Amino acid sequence: MAAYLLALRLGRWGIAGFGAVAFVVTLVQTVGFYNIAGHTEAERQAFGHSMSLLAAQFTVIIPPPVRPDTVGGYVQWRAFGFLAILFAIWALASASGAARGDEERGIVQALLANGLSRPRMIAARMAAFATGGMVAALAAGAGLLVGVASGGETFSPVRALEAAVGAAVLGVCCYSLTLLFAQFTSARNSTAFAGVILLALFLINSLSRTFDALVPWRWLSPFHYYEQSSPLVPGGILDVRATLVLLGIAVAAALVAAFAFRYRDVGSPLITLPARTRRASYEMSGSLVWRVPVARDLYERRVSLLVWIVGLSALGAIFVVLTKSIVKPLLAIPELAPYFAIFVNGNIYASFLGYIWFGFAQLLMAGFAITQVARWSAEDSDGRLELVLGNPISRARVVVERLIVLTLGALIIAAVSGVAVGIEAHYQSIDLNSRRLAEASLLLVPFTLVFGAVGALLASRIPRATVGILGAFAFASYLTVQLGPIFKLPAWAQDLSAFKLFGQPLTSGVDQTGLVVMLAIVIAGLGVSAMVMERRDIGA
C-alpha cells in the first residue's frame, strides 16, 4: 500500500495536468460542435456529410468518423481520437520514468533496500497509473457532459463513462508495454526505444486503412482494439471483447516486465551487447569529444538523436507518398471546395503537403524539445547538474550550452528530414520549390527553440513540474491554432501560438514577423533562464 501511495504521489503532476487537458479537450470540442454544426437537423446533416467526406481522405492519420452530425459522434472522432494519442504519450513518459528514470534518481534502490520486492514494485506502479488514468479519463467524460449541458441538451452519463473506460484501458496497456520495452535498453535511451515501438504500433494500425498489406498485422496494435469501441456514437457500444484484449495485453506485458526486472541489474538493461575487453584504466580520455562541452552532450545523446532523425525522415517520406492518393480524390468532391482555400496557394500538392506534413512535423519537434527539457529537469535531481557546476562552470554557461545542443540537434533533424522530403517528392513527381522547402525545414529550428527557451526557464525555476507545464503550454498553443477560427478568437490571441508564428513557409514563404517574434522569445527566455538559475539552490 505504501508503494502504491508513493507511486501516486510521484505521478500527481501528471494526473493533474493530463486530467485538466482531457477535460479541456472534450469541453472545447463539444462547445465547438454547437458553434459550427448548426441548430436544425438539416444543417447538422449537411455538416456531418462534409466532415465525413473530408475525414475520409485523412484516415491514414485518424479513423473515419461515425455520425459526426451528432455531438456524440463528433466528440468521439475529434476529442477521444486525440485522447488516444495523448494517453499513449502520457503512458510512455510515465512508464519510462518509473522504469528507468527513478533508478537514476535512486528511488528504486531505496525502495528495494526497504524490502519491497521487484514484482510488487511493478504492480504498485501499474495500479497507480491505472488510478491516475481513470481519473483523467473521467475528467474527459465530465468535459463532454458540461459541454453538452452548455448547448442545452443532455447526454447519457453511462456512455460518457464507457468512453472514459476505453481511454483509460488503452493508457494502461501502453504503460505496461513501455515498462516491458524499458527493461531491454539503457536508462538514457529507454524513452526513445519505447517511443519508436509505440509509434510503429500506431502506424501499423493507421496506415492499414490505406495500405492493404498492413491489414493482416494490425491485430498487433493496441490502437486497433481501442477503435473497436465507439460508445458516444448513437447506437455505438463499448466493445467488451476488445477492451478485455487490451487488459490482457497489459497484464501479460506487466508480468514479463516484472520477470525481466527481477533478472537484471538495477541501472543496466536485461540484455547487453558484447563489447571489446579493455584494460582497466583511470587515465582521463584523450578524445576531443569529451573535451568540447557541446560535442560531448551531442555524443551522449547520439542514439536518441539518430532515432529522431530516422523517424522524422521516414515519416516525411511517407507523407509525400500519401499526398497524391489523398489530394486526387479531394479535387473530385465539389462539397469540399470551401476547404481548398486552406491549402491552395499555387500548387495544390505542395500546399497540401506543406499543411499536413509541416503541421505534423511541428508537433514532433515540440515533442523533441520537451524530451530534451525533461532531461534537463532530471539532471537537477539526479546529481548531474551538481557535478557539472562543481568543475567549476557558471550556471549561465550551462543554460547557454543546453540551448546550443538543442539548436544543433534540431538543425540536424530538420535538415535531414527536409532532404528526405525533397528526394521523395522528386520521385513522386511533386513540384516543390527547393528554396522554400529548405526555408520551411530550417524554420523548424527556431520553432523548436521557442519550447526549449520556455522549458529552460521552467527547468531553472521549478524543475519537478517543468515537463507537465511545458506540455500544457504546447497543448494550449496547438489548441489555439486549431480552434481559434471556430470560436472566432481575435487575431492577437491566435498570434500568441508558436504554431501560428510558424505560418505556411512551403507555399507562402517565411513569415518575417513570426520569425522575429520566435527569435525574440528565444533570446528573452535564454536571458531570464540564466538569471533565474543563478538565484536558485540546485535540487530545491
pLDDT in tens, 25-73: 899 889 888 888 888 888 888 888 888 876 765 666 678 888 888 999 9
**What pLDDT shows up at residue 163?**
94
**CA distance to 217, 300, 329, per residue, from 204 (Å):** 7, 31, 23
Quote the longest CA-to-CA distance of the chain.
Answer: 80
Name the least confident of 59-63, 207-211, 332-336, 483-487.
332-336
Name the least confident of 40-44, 420-424, 481-485, 514-518.
481-485
CA nearest to 228, candidates 84, 33, 47: 84
Q: Has residue 337 got a pLDDT over 60?
A: no
**Mean pLDDT estimate for the chain:** 83
Name the least confident of 73-87, 99-113, 502-516.
99-113
CA nearest to 89, candidates 6, 191, 207: 191
Domain segments of the chain: what residues? 1-268
**What pLDDT shows up at residue 148?**
92
Q: Has residue 455 got a pLDDT over 80?
A: yes
- Mean pLDDT for the stretch of residues 298-308: 83
Question: What is the residue type of 380?
Answer: D
**What pLDDT shows up at residue 118?**
85
**What pLDDT shows up at residue 464?**
72
Q: CA–CA separation, 172 vs 191, rounded Å?
A: 16
**What pLDDT shows up at residue 56?**
65
Q: Has residue 504 got a pLDDT over 80?
A: yes
**What pLDDT shows up at residue 406?**
92
Q: Has residue 320 got a pLDDT over 70?
A: yes
Residue 347 pLDDT grade (very low, low, confident, very high; cuts 50, 70, 90): low
CA nearest to 93, candidates 182, 8, 205: 182
Name the least confident of 62-66, 241-245, 335-339.
335-339
Q: CA–CA separation, 62 vs 77, rounded Å?
A: 8
pLDDT tens digit sequence for 400-436: 888 999 999 999 999 999 999 999 988 888 888 889 9
Residue 377 pLDDT grade (very low, low, confident, very high; cuts 50, 70, 90): confident
SS3 274: coil
Max avg pLDDT among 282-286, 318-322, 419-423, 529-533: 419-423
pTM: 0.80
Q: Print burial letters for 489-504: b (CB count within 10 Å at least 16), e (below 16).
A: beeeebeebbbbbbbb
Within 13 A of 178's CA, how many CA atoms are on the CB side? 34
Q: Has residue 396 got a pLDDT over 70?
A: yes
Q: CA–CA separation, 371 vs 436, rounded Å?
A: 28
pLDDT tens digit sequence for 38-48: 888 888 888 88
pLDDT tens digit sequence for 116-162: 888 888 888 999 999 999 999 999 999 999 999 988 888 999 999 99
**What pLDDT shows up at residue 23?**
92
**What pLDDT shows up at residue 250?**
94
Q: CA–CA separation, 146 vs 168, rounded Å?
A: 20
Is residue 26 within 8 Å of residue 164, measured between CB atoms? no
**What pLDDT shows up at residue 16?**
85
What are 209's three cell numbers? 486503412
**What pLDDT shows up at residue 212?**
77
Residue partners of 383: CB distance under 8 A and separation at least 6: none
